[in-house]
């Protein structure tokens, strides 16, 4: 089945910020209890997950005297904030800045003597919080028909709950203006909500039905489903993939998927994957078969291995003759083994980052483990054909590659050691991967072959290091949500997503400039210019991630790896036409 996933689906900025704050606090080595004041978001699965991380939901403050407490994105009334302070607990304020802006607006205007009207759900936590900021009692209404019940107001102003249906808000404002010509209007519906609803409406003529993913009690998800229905789309609101009515989807050929602001990415991916497996109307079995083969190739690290071969071939070509074809094969087998085995050891975050990959790993664990060991053995055998030093060097690289994910301190020391494994060191994953590639692609051949010009070898090393770093850094960004949940210390989580993205831009930009300079200076020959193409491809992948052009982890992985295939194909063409 064809699936069209909304670019705006999933966590909004405020929810992401709140989740990051809670998970960072939960991952800290701090013995004080951690509470959220009310459920952090309206999503049962996320709340269950937080429970496993010892985050307790508090409904009242009775009998509490210590610990840390998180104010959720909806915010709270000032009176409750004062009570929280009295408990002496450390307050972690995750009130969304956009909600805080509405709170300030209400306080400012009611202090000036204006009367406040809020369009929203009076039982919703955000609205309860907003009401607390009004110095005179506010009016809360949900629809235009309630305007008639309002008393005569002298200086009214209206605001909206940030996740309000914008069409409903428009109707209410029209009715209010008819009654109060001097009405002040503040459209405080969050832009994230506007865009989400607008995108759903734009799906009207593009899909046969709409699946809205999110908690059944989540107001913004309910409203999203309401918007989809109002647009005339057959709409299914589901919490998880288990709630999908697959029989009802079979007569269709394209399904739109969107999700509420409190729905995590892994839940969206699970729903998308389940729908994709349904054989849609008019879908050929050949196409379906090809897609399955492609998926299996990506999931079984086949693409990583193929990409490694092509990359090593291109890097060897860049380093200048002689290029021995055995080394790209060794690189392919080595990276397949290390990548596959590390995935098996380290599958915790995969459940959230790439549910499809995690499921594949669980089902085919034995085959993947056997394949990884066989690949490592084959790489060693090939290395042996190039002499003992090459064999020993590769054996050392394999050991280093494997201990990356393994504990370096015994279990009993775990609580005292922040860095339990090498990969726990902040930012180590991207660097380790980049250096592993330099080791096997650039350094290993030096043990048995006379290198080409040293300048070309150095250019090739820089090329491999920076492009590999770009690849791993991009995956770190892609895996942010799952890594945060399991408490991994990747670079984006240590220095922030914006800074990590900037770093990648600098990395790839510098590599581009470096290749141009190397080409003109004659350090590496004109082939250096051709390698700008895969570098440009990687920059495009980074843009695709930032702009949310592609949401599927599988497709993103395939696109990133395709740059290495591209490098290899260009090198092969250069070899043919040299």
- Residues within the interface to ligand SF4 (CB under 6 A): 12-15, 73, 96, 98-99, 162-163, 190, 192-193, 261
| Min CB(201)–ligand SF4 separation in Å | 18
As given in the structure block, the two tokens for residue 26 are 């939960």
CB contact burial 278-291 (16+ within 10 A = b; e otherwise): bebeeeeeeeeeee
- The owner of tokens 């048995």 is 448
Which residues lie closer than 8 Å to 270 by C-beta, 6 or more apart?
A: 240, 241, 355
> Coil, helix or strand for 139?
strand
Q: Which is nearer to ligand SF4, 93 or 359 (CB)?
A: 93
In this structure, which long-range contacts are made by residues 176-185, counting pairs with CB atoms below 8 Å and at least 24 apart in sequence?
A: 176/117, 176/147, 178/147, 179/147, 179/148, 179/150, 180/153, 180/156, 182/155, 182/156, 183/156, 183/157, 183/158, 184/109, 184/114, 184/155, 184/156, 184/157, 184/158, 185/157, 185/158
Residue with tokens 């020391």: 413
Closest to ligand SF4 by CB, 162 vs 562, is 162
Residue 476 neighbours by CB under 8 Å, 6+ apart:
429, 430, 483, 490, 491, 492, 500
Residue 364 annotated as binding site: no
The annotation status of 96 as a binding-site residue, yes or no, is yes
How far apart CA 450 and CA 446 sit, in angstroms, is 7
Smallest distance, ligand SF4 to C-beta of residue 259, A: 13
Chain residue whose CB lies nearest ligand SF4? 14
Q: Does the annotation place 12 within a ligand binding site? A: yes
In whole angstroms, the minimum distance from the beta carbon of 73 to ligand SF4 comes to 4
353 is in an annotated binding site: no
- Taking the complex as a whole, how short is the minimal distance between the CB of residue 111 and ligand SF4, in angstroms? 23
- Dihedrals φ, ψ of 7, to 5°? -65, -25
Q: Is 190 a known ligand-binding residue?
A: yes
Which C-beta is closer to ligand SF4: that of 164 or that of 390?
164
Measured from the CB atom, the residue of 13 and 369 that comes closer to ligand SF4 is 13
For residue 12, give Cα distances in angstroms to 98, 480, 531: 11, 15, 37
Min dist. Cβ of residue 265 to ligand SF4 (A): 15
Q: Which of 166, 258, 261 is closest to 218 using CA atoms?
A: 261
Calpha distance 316→437 (Å, rounded):
12
* Closer CB to ligand SF4, 98 or 423, in the complex: 98
User: Distance between CA atoms of 534 and 467, rounded to whole angstroms?
Assistant: 9
Per-residue tokens: 565: 């295939």
Of the candidates 430, 454, 429, the one whose C-alpha atom is nearest the C-alpha of residue 442 is 454
Report the number of secondary-structure helices (H) and strands (E) in the chain: 25, 12
How far apart are the C-alpha atoms of 331 and 379, rounded to whole Å? 8
- Residues 421/29/42/125 CA torsion (nearest 10 deg): -150
In the complex, minimum distance from the CB of residue 192 to ligand SF4, in angstroms, rounded to a whole number: 4
Q: Quick one: 267 or 275, whose CB is closer to ligand SF4?
A: 267
The nearest distance, CB 228 to ligand SF4, in angstroms, is 17
Whether 126 sits among the annotated catalytic residues: the reply is: yes
Does the annotation flag 218 for ligand binding? Answer: yes
First to last CA, the chain: 45
Q: Would you say 74 or 429 has its CB closer to ligand SF4?
A: 74
Residue 42 is assigned to a ligand binding site: yes
The CB-of-313 to ligand SF4 minimum distance in angstroms stands at 46
- Strands of the sheet containing 139-141, edge to edge, are 139-141, 115-119, 156-160, 184-185
**191 marked as binding residue:** no
Q: In angstroms, what is the minimal distance from the CB of 421 to ligand SF4?
A: 35
Q: Per DSSP, what are the bridge partners of residue 258?
A: 212
By beta-carbon proximity to ligand SF4, the closer residue of 75 and 256 is 75
In what helix (H) or strand (E) does residue 93 lie, and over which residues does it extend?
A: strand 90-93
Q: Which is nearer to ligand SF4, 110 or 262 (CB)?
A: 262
In angstroms, the CA 567 to CA 490 distance is 27
Given the residues 126, 226, 239, 561, the one annotated as active site: 126
Return the active site residues: 126
Annotated binding site for isopentenyl diphosphate: 42, 74, 124, 218, 220, 262
Annotated binding site for dimethylallyl diphosphate: 42, 74, 124, 218, 220, 262
Annotated binding site for [4Fe-4S] cluster: 12, 96, 190
Annotated binding site: 12, 42, 74, 96, 124, 162, 190, 218, 220, 262
């Amino acid at each position: 089945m064809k699936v069209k996933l909304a670019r705006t689906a999933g966590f909004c900025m405020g929810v992401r910020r709140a989740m990051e704050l809670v998970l960072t606090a939960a991952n800290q080595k701090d013995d004080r209890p951690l509470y959220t004041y009310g459920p952090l978001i309206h999503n049962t699965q996320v709340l269950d997950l937080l429970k496993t991380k010892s985050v307790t939901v508090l409904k009242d403050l009775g009998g509490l005297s210590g610990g840390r407490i998180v104010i959720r994105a909806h915010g709270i009334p000032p009176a409750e904030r004062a009570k929280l302070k009295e408990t002496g607990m450390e307050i972690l304020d995750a009130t969304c800045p956009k909600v805080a802006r509405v709170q300030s607006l209400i306080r400012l205007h009611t202090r000036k003597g204006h009367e406040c009207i809020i369009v929203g759900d009076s039982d919703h936590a955000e609205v309860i919080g907003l009401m607390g900021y009004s110095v005179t009692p506010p009016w809360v209404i949900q629809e235009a028909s309630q305007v008639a019940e309002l008393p005569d107001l002298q200086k009214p102003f209206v605001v909206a709950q940030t996740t309000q249906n914008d069409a409903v808000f428009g109707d209410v404002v029209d009715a209010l203006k008819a009654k109060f010509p001097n009405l002040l209007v503040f459209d405080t519906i969050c832009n994230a909500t506007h865009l989400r609803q607008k995108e759903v409406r734009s799906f009207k003529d593009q899909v046969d039905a709409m699946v809205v993913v999110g908690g059944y009690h989540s107001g913004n998800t309910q409203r999203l489903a309401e918007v989809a229905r109002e647009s005339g789309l057959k709409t299914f609101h589901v919490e998880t993939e288990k709630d999908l009515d697959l029989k009802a989807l079979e007569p269709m050929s394209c399904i739109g998927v969107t999700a509420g602001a409190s729905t995590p990415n892994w839940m969206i991916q699970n729903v998308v994957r389940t729908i994709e497996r349904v054989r849609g109307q008019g879908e050929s079995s050949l196409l379906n078969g090809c897609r399955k083969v492609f998926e299996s190739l990506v999931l079984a690290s086949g693409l990583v291995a193929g990409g490694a071969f092509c990359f090593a071939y291109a890097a060897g070509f860049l380093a200048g003759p002689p290029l021995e074809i055995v080394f790209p094969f060794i690189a392919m087998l080595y990276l397949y083994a290390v990548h596959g085995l590390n995935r098996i050891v380290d599958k915790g975050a995969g459940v959230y980052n790439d549910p499809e990959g995690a499921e594949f790993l669980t089902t085919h664990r034995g085959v993947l483990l056997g394949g990884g060991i066989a690949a490592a053995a084959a790489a060693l055998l090939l290395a042996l054909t190039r002499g003992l030093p090459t064999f020993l060097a590769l054996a050392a690289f394999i050991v280093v590659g494997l201990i990356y994910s393994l504990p370096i301190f015994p279990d009993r020391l775990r609580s005292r050691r922040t860095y339990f494994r090498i990969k726990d060191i902040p930012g180590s994953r991207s660097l380790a991967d980049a250096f592993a590639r330099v080791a096997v692609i650039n350094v290993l051949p030096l043990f048995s072959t006379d290198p080409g010009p040293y300048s070309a070898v150095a250019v090739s090393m820089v090329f491999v290091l920076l492009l590999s770093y770009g690849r791993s850094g991009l995956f770190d960004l892609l895996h942010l949500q799952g890594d945060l949940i399991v408490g991994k210390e990747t670079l984006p989580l240590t220095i922030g997503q914006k800074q990590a993205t900037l770093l990648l831009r600098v990395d790839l930009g510098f590599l581009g400039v470096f290749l141009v300079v190397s080409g003109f200076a004659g350090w590496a020959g004109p082939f250096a210019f051709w390698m700008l193409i895969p570098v440009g491809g990687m920059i495009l992948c980074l843009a695709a991630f930032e702009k949310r052009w592609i949401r599927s982890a599988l497709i993103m992985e395939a696109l990133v790896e395709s740059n290495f295939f591209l490098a290899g194909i260009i090198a092969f063409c250069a070899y043919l036409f040299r």
